[in-house]
């Protein structure tokens, strides 16, 4: 899904300039990474709030920022919200490049919970992780990783090394070369009789 956001270059920087932007209904942001210098931009607050409310997959989607002096392919690297109101106060964008890998947290979506044999006989399914950190090129970045738990038995766990990961994507926890990092993701408790 292609997302195009309208952005404008910021000439003023600093706390006061950012405060004036927010009062004008805009969100200050920065675009960094790649071979280029960092670029300060501003986006319309209502456009961003609406887009993120409708589609949470945007956190792991390559976005296009367009406007006068701005033409960037990027991903949302970090997003700060006001502690009281919850409105977005600043966004960090990382340039999308197919030359170097990015590191990003990706949510896990569990399917088949209701039909798992361990649950049917009374076991309780526990989720130890809701997201995992991956390393990949931006073109390979998944919006979520789907995990089929429909075959889990009571007393069984599913570990990071057992997950089906899309091609071109690596789990950063498994790149350490130590089995201590191969943590359980989901499991079903044994049934007490």
49 SS3 class: helix
Cβ pair 95, 33 in contact under 8 A = yes
- The count of other CB atoms within 10 Å of the CB of residue 149 is 22
pLDDT for 1 equals 46
pLDDT for 182 equals 86
Quick: pLDDT tens for 36-84.
888 999 999 998 888 888 887 888 888 889 988 888 889 898 999 989 9
* pTM value > 0.95: no
Q: What are 5's strand-pairing partners?
A: 65
Q: Where does 14-101 show beta strands of DSSP type E?
A: 26-32, 39-44, 63-67, 70-81, 88-95
Quick: pLDDT tens for 82-137.
899 888 999 999 888 778 888 889 999 999 988 998 888 888 899 999 999 999 98
DSSP conformational letter for 14: S
Cβ pair 2, 64 in contact under 8 A = yes
Torsion angle, CA of 127/129/131/137, rounded to 10 degrees?
Answer: -120
Quick: pLDDT tens for 17-26.
888 888 899 9
* pLDDT tops 80 at residue 2: no
* pLDDT bucket at 190, cuts 50 / 70 / 90: confident
């Amino acid at each position: 899904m292609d997302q195009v956001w309208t952005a404008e270059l910021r000439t003023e920087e600093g706390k006061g300039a950012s405060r004036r932007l927010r009062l004008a209904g805009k969100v200050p942001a920065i675009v960094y990474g790649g071979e280029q210098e960092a670029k300060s931009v501003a986006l319309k607050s209502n456009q961003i709030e609406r887009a993120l409310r409708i589609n949470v997959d945007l956190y792991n989607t390559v976005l296009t920022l367009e406007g006068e002096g701005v033409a960037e392919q990027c991903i949302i690297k970090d997003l700060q919200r006001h502690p009281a109101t919850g409105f977005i106060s600043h966004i960090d964008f990382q340039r999308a490049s197919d030359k170097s890998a990015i590191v990003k947290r990706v949510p896990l979506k569990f399917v088949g919970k209701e039909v798992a044999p361990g649950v049917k006989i009374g076991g309780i399914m526990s989720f130890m992780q809701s997201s995992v950190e991956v390393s990949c090129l931006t073109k390979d970045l998944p919006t979520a990783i789907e995990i089929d738990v429909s075959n889990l038995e009571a007393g069984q766990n599913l570990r990071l090394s057992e997950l089906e990961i899309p091609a071109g994507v690596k789990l950063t926890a498994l790149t350490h070369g130590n089995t201590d990092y191969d943590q359980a993701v989901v499991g079903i408790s044994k049934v007490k009789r």
